[in-house]
Amino acid sequence: MLEIPTLELEERIRQELEENPALEEGIDFSDHPMSEMDNQEYDDANYDSDLDLGDYKNEDDIPEYKLIANNTSRDDKHEDIPFSVGITFHEYLIDQVGLLHLDEKQKKLVEYIIGNIDEEGYLRRDAESMVDDIVFQVGVETSDEEMKRLIKKVQQLDPPGVGATDLQECLMLQLERKGATPIILNARKIISEYFDEFSKKHYDKIIRSMSLTEDELKDILNEITRLNPKPGSAWGGSALEKTFSIIIPDFVVENDEGTLTVQLNNANVPELRINNTYNEMFEDYTANKANQTREMRDAVTFVKQKIDAARWFIDAIKQRQQTLMTTMTAIVNFQREYFLEGDETFLKPMVLKDIADITGYDISTISRVSNSKYVQTEFGVYPVKYFFSEAMTNESGEEISTREIKKVMQEIIDDEDKKNPLNDDKLVEALKGRGYVIARRTAAKYREQLNIPVARLRREI
pLDDT at 281: 74
Within this chain, do residues 191 and 301 fall inside the same structural domain, yes or no?
no
355 vs 244, higher pLDDT: 355
Identify the domain containing residue 404 by its residue range.
391-458
Give the residue among 440, 392, 346, 400 at the shortest CA–CA distance from 430: 440
Residue 419, SS3 per DSSP: coil
pLDDT of 183 above 60? yes
Of the pLDDT bands very low, low, confident and very high (cuts 50, 70, 90), residue 210 is: very high
What secondary structure does DSSP assign to 92-127, as a single string?
HHHHTGGGG---HHHHHHHHHHHHTB-TTSBB-S-H
pLDDT at 282: 72
pLDDT of 459 above 90? no
pLDDT tens sequence across 401-412: 777 888 889 999
CA dist 169 and 393 (Å) reads: 48
Least confident of 135-139, 147-151, 236-240, 442-446: 236-240
Considering 345, 361, 387, which residue would you say is the last residue of a domain? 387
pLDDT at 246: 67
pLDDT tens sequence across 112-171: 899 889 888 999 888 888 888 887 776 778 888 888 999 999 999 988 999 999 999 999
Burial class of residue 311, CB neighbours in 10 A (0-12, 13-18, 19+): middle
- Does residue 13 sit within a domain? no
Give the residue among 134, 160, 161 at the shortest CA–CA distance from 146: 134
Of the pLDDT bands very low, low, confident and very high (cuts 50, 70, 90), residue 236 is: low
pTM above 0.85, yes or no: no
Considering 387, 415, 430, which residue would you say is the last residue of a domain? 387
Q: Tell me what percent of the residues of the chain surpass a pLDDT of 70.
A: 79
Give the residue among 353, 392, 347, 346 at the shortest CA–CA distance from 370: 353
Q: How many structural domains are present in the chain?
A: 3
pLDDT of 195 above 80? yes
Write out the H or E segment, with its range, that includes residue 383. Answer: strand 380-383
What secondary structure does DSSP assign to 209-256, as a single string?
HHT--HHHHHHHHHHHHTS-S-TTTT----HHHHHHTS---SEEEEEE
Of the pLDDT bands very low, low, confident and very high (cuts 50, 70, 90), residue 331 is: very high
Mean pLDDT of the chain: 79
Within this chain, do residues 287 and 367 fall inside the same structural domain, yes or no?
yes
pLDDT at 85: 45
- Does residue 66 sit within a domain? no
Q: The sheet that has 259-264: what strands, in order across it? A: 259-264, 251-256, 374-377, 380-383
- Does residue 348 sit within a domain? yes
Of the pLDDT bands very low, low, confident and very high (cuts 50, 70, 90), residue 58 is: very low
CA dist 262 and 375 (Å) reads: 10
Of the pLDDT bands very low, low, confident and very high (cuts 50, 70, 90), residue 28 is: low
pLDDT of 23 above 60? yes
Within this chain, do residues 283 and 298 fall inside the same structural domain, yes or no?
yes
**Opening angle at CA 349, ends 345 and 350, nearest 5:** 130
Within this chain, do residues 268 and 323 fall inside the same structural domain, yes or no?
yes
Please report, as a single letter, which amino acid is at residue 269.
Answer: V
- Does residue 415 sit within a domain? yes
Considering 370, 387, 404, which residue would you say is the last residue of a domain? 387
Within this chain, do residues 214 and 255 fall inside the same structural domain, yes or no?
no
- Does residue 402 sit within a domain? yes
